[in-house]
């Protein structure tokens, strides 16, 4: 996972070699400028054409642990993480 932080904002996406996979690129565009595909798949140059590069250029690889599955499946773990995680557990756990 790649991570780019600018001030208090951040953006994450996947990258394999030079290919970017970004399911959230649309948040940076007006709806009228959305590309036909829901997930952007391509290189940085192609992305710059539509969006610019501030959220992708200079990003670093992140080893941040994603624990959504545990939050949803372990109520004690969710409670220890905080109230918002406990609400997620209660609303979305299966």
Give the Cα separation of 51 and 49 in Å (integer).
6
Model confidence, pTM:
0.61
Q: Taking the domains of the chain in order of start, what are their residue ranges?
A: 2-61, 64-94
Q: Which helix (H) or strand (E) holds 3?
A: strand 2-6
Structural tokens at position 32:
């009228």
Sheet order of strands, 9-16 included = 40-42, 19-22, 9-16, 2-6, 60-61
List, for residues 18-54, the tens digit of each pLDDT value.
899 999 888 888 888 888 888 999 998 888 888 877 8
């Amino acid at each position: 996972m790649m991570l780019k932080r600018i001030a208090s904002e951040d953006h994450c996406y996947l990258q394999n070699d030079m290919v970017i996979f970004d399911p959230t690129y649309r948040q940076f565009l007006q709806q009228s400028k959305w590309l036909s595909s829901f997930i952007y798949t391509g290189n940085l140059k192609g992305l710059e054409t539509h969006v610019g590069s501030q959220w992708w250029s200079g990003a670093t690889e992140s080893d941040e642990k994603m624990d959504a599955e545990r939050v949803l499946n372990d109520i004690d773990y969710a409670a220890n993480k905080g109230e918002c995680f406990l609400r997620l557990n209660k609303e979305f756990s299966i």
